Amino acid sequence: MLKGFEEFQKAGKDGFEASVRAMGEWSKGVQAIASEMTDYSKKTFEDSTRAFEQLVSAKSAEQAFEIQSQYAKKAYDDYMAEMSKLGEMYVGMAQDAYKPMEDSFAKKTY
């Protein structure tokens, strides 16, 4: 009976440690995503400011239309690339956070 209790206690300890490692991985992932979004926001603001300055200095309606079209295309392309990158980061974060739990379950022999 004592051996069963020790195994139960070890399993609980292993599960807790795996949970702590998983939360650590999750935290790192969230920080990386927040940093990426901050960088993207800064870049987007700089790009929009630059486009506005060009738009204000346009000499004709055609030039203004061209500046706006170029900005819109670049903004869309950048947005799609960023969303793809963030999606990959979320998947990686979930995999990294699940790995400690997966390893803990793999060690269990019943």
Tens of pLDDT along 32-48? Answer: 999 999 999 999 999 99
Tell me how far apart the alpha carbons of residues 51 and 63 are, in angstroms, rounded to a whole number.
Answer: 12
User: What six digits make up the tokens of 87?
Assistant: 């999606």
In Å, the largest CA–CA distance within the chain is 89
Listed range (4-8, 15-19, 42-46) with the worst mean pLDDT: 4-8
Taking alpha carbons only, the member of 28, 25, 19 closest to residue 101 is 19
Percent pLDDT > 90 in the chain is 65
pTM (global) more than 0.85: no
pLDDT of residue 40: 97
What are 64-99's pLDDT values in tens digits?
Answer: 999 999 999 999 999 999 999 999 999 999 999 888
Sequence spans of domains, the chain: 15-107
Cβ atoms < 10 Å from Cβ of 87: 10
Instruction: Compute the distance between CA of residue 22 and CA of residue 68 in angstroms, rounded to an integer.
Output: 46
